[in-house]
Chains A and B, each alone.
Chain A
Amino acid sequence: MYRYDDFDRAFLAERNAQFRAQVARRLDGSLTEDEFKPLRLMNGVYLQLHAYMLRVAIPYGTLSSDQMRVLADLAQRWDKGYGHFTTRQNIQYNWPKLVDIPDMLDRLSDVGLHAIQTSGNTIRNVTADHFAGAAADEVADPRPYAELLRQWSTDHPEFQFLPRKFKIAVTGAPNDRAVTRAHDIGLVLKERDGQLGFEVLVGGGLGRTPMIGKTVRDFLPEADLLPYCEAIVSVYNRLGRRDNKFKARIKITVHETGLDEIRRQVEERFAELRPLFDGTALQVLDDLKAQFAPPAFADSTDAPVVDPLLRSWVDTNTAGHKRADHAIVTVSLKAHGATPGDATAEQMRLMADLAEAHAYGELRISHEQNVILPHVPRAALPALHARLREAGLGTANVGLASDIIACPGMDYCALATARSIPVAQQIAERIDALKIEHEVGHLKIKISGCINACGHHHVGHIGILGLDRAGVENYQITLGGDGSERAAIGERAGPGFAYDAIVPAIERLILAYLDLREGPDDTFLDAYRRLGPAPFKAALYPEEAQDAA
């Protein structure tokens, strides 16, 4: 894991002291709200529907046990005892008082965490595959590159006032768990002729105008990562539209300018920038690779899995580790009826302790709002499961229909047009009551509370978008979206559903799929791709189907 050096510590201390003084000046009236707002946003402080919200970056989703304990401390001391893990691998506190936030930031800095660039038109927290460094299918660990990008982009003087926010995701595996194709820049590590490099995707994004990223460079040698990314952001900074907020993201720039012309300009700028990068970044990268070296794995053996609950949990919540005697464990933050992505301070502490006891002290946050213990010796699985179950963290539903991504929606977010959390809670409870989710199998349901699509609904196999229709909540369904390496934007199924009709609609859809599929291996997405939308629409809108018959 990355360890802060003296430079990082001094930088953070100075930045926090600056913000403490800015808060004091706002409170004594020396700064107006108009002057203060951009300053607080630069430090991750929003004013939301009910209260302030502090968004803390979890770089590439990686945490140590000590860092997780500090996140728990913040929840307990300065919030209401819980935190919300987001689809960008961050954590949000929903109830901090402005007067307390400087203390919260200081506490975070004790363990090398911060809230810098979690808002504003800057390069945001760089996200990565949550199985990084552990996955059996990985070419190389993407996190040294993500950390290099974090260092390069933090306070980068040229990129503090981009046309719009800018998000970068990195994966080191061919199975894309980082949704790289829905990011402003997506980086996919590849090996070619014994050399590491990246396929560079550009112009992906969800929101109002969803687009799948396009390949701007087929293979970029790893040594060129920074100058090439700088070239992309620099071209975007120049071409990106500042006249219209809805057309300001790079996806629109790429769409309007054309990929070939963007590529030409990026390559031209890259040729200028490359000589300016001396070897320093490469030395840093070497050093980072050493810091992200895998832990000293101890040999393990398979523990007998007799208990059916344990068996079910091992089947759904563990994934293949690069070492056969270890497993990647996903701790579900989606107990049926719970708020997706929320964890209490006690749960965070328990996960930190369990990571220390059984997983070399490392945790990850996934964009799917779960917590990962990336390196668990297989012999520890029964003990781990037992402790998780006691704390309400043993739900065996990862990748299943109740493992729902949901943004905060109208329960917290000032931009929302409808609620998402209670819709997720009710769908999960209904699925649990029907006892069908293990039979249904792999199914991703994603819910956003407005067109900004933080809940990734466009890439849900079933996507739900909450809207305000004449002062009433209304939910639009999209079908066939996919956030993986086969990325696709879901298609709108038809008219939206009222709040009390959306859960029954999803139930009809899932039951129809069970009737339509060819067998358990025929997943919802496969069946949708094979059959097209018609039979699914017929389930969603039975009256119209009857009229047409």
Chain B
Amino acid sequence: MSRNRPFTPKVVTANLLREGDVVYLTAAGDWSPDHSAAELLTEAEHANDRLALAEAQPLRVVGAYLADARPGPDGRPEPVHFREGFRATGPSNYAHGKAHEVQ
């Protein structure tokens, strides 16, 4: 495996501490339930800084991590792995997860 493998872009995601909802860190430093509102992080160092920013908010969010993402057709981030896809849209058996809140 090459050491210089290109960095896979990321978003910072977490759950709200009080409510548990899935959220994403925006470029403005807010938390949004909308994956496409997340800041797409294309450099490793910047991604780690943004994760550190999230981890410094233990009273706001829990379980922050970097998830792979890619630019969608409009340049806004979309999930790469199907797990993150489900986190972004909610469960497939009911339309009452985030799916309808986001849309």
Contacts and interface: CB of A to CB of B under 8 A. Distances in A.
Contacts of B91: 50, 94, 411-412, 421
Contact of A50 (B17, B63, B80, B87): B87
Given A27-B59, A411-B86, A411-B93, A51 B21 contact: yes
Contacts of B82: 410, 468, 471-473
A80 interface: yes
Given A410-B82, A410-B83, A50 B22 contact: yes
A444 interface: no
B15 interface: yes
B22 A419 contact: no
B29 interface: no
A436 to B, nearest CB: 24
B86 A422 contact: no
Contacts of A33: 58, 62-63
Given A96-B20, A99-B18, A410-B83, A29 B92 contact: no
A468 B83 CA distance: 10
A341 to B, nearest CB: 11
A27 B18 contact: yes
B97 interface: yes
B90 interface: yes
B20 A410 contact: no
B24 to A, nearest CB: 13
Contact of B20 (A29, A97, A411, A473): A97
Interface string A413-457: 000100101100100000000000000000000000000000000
A284 interface: no
B70 interface: no
B76 interface: no
A13 interface: no
Label chain B's interface by main secondary structure.
loop
Interface residues of B, number: 25
A419 B90 contact: no
Given A98-B20, A410-B86, A51 B15 contact: yes
B49 interface: no
A52 interface: yes
Contacts of A99: 18-19
A98 B81 CA distance: 27
B93 A422 contact: yes
Contact of A47 (B62, B81, B86): B62
A29 B59 contact: yes
Given A422-B92, A471-B82, A32 B58 contact: yes
Interface in A1-51: 26-29, 32-33, 47, 49-51
Interface string B68-103: 000000000000111100110011111011100000
A214 to B, nearest CB: 37
Give the interface size class of chain A: 20 to 34
B93 A51 contact: no
A339 interface: yes
Contacts of A50: 20-22, 87, 90-91, 97-98
A420 to B, nearest CB: 10
A447 to B, nearest CB: 13
Nearest to A338: B93
A411 B18 CA distance: 21
A338 B15 CA distance: 28
A351 to B, nearest CB: 20
B83 A29 contact: no
B76 to A, nearest CB: 21
A27 B17 contact: yes
A97 B18 contact: yes
Interface in A62-108: 80, 94-99
Interface in A291-311: none
Interface string A453-465: 0000000000000
Contacts of A411: 86, 91-93
Contacts of B97: 50
Contacts of A27: 17-18, 59
Contacts of A339: 93-94
A419 B15 CA distance: 21
A52 B58 contact: no
Interface in B1-59: 15, 17-22, 58-59
A81 to B, nearest CB: 8
A27 B59 CA distance: 6
- Chain A to chain B: the 6 pairs with minimum beta-carbon distance, closest first: A411-B91, A51-B20, A52-B20, A339-B93, A97-B19, A421-B93
Given A27-B18, A94-B91, A468-B82, 12 more contacts: A33-B62, A47-B20, A49-B86, A50-B87, A51-B15, A51-B20, A97-B20, A98-B20, A99-B19, A339-B93, A339-B94, A411-B86
Interface of A: 26-29, 32-33, 47, 49-52, 80, 94-99, 339, 410-412, 416, 419, 421-422, 425, 468, 471-473
13 contacts: A28-B59, A29-B58, A29-B59, A33-B62, A47-B15, A47-B63, A50-B98, A51-B19, A94-B91, A410-B83, A419-B86, A421-B92, A425-B93
Interface of B: 15, 17-22, 58-59, 62-63, 80-83, 86-87, 90-94, 96-98
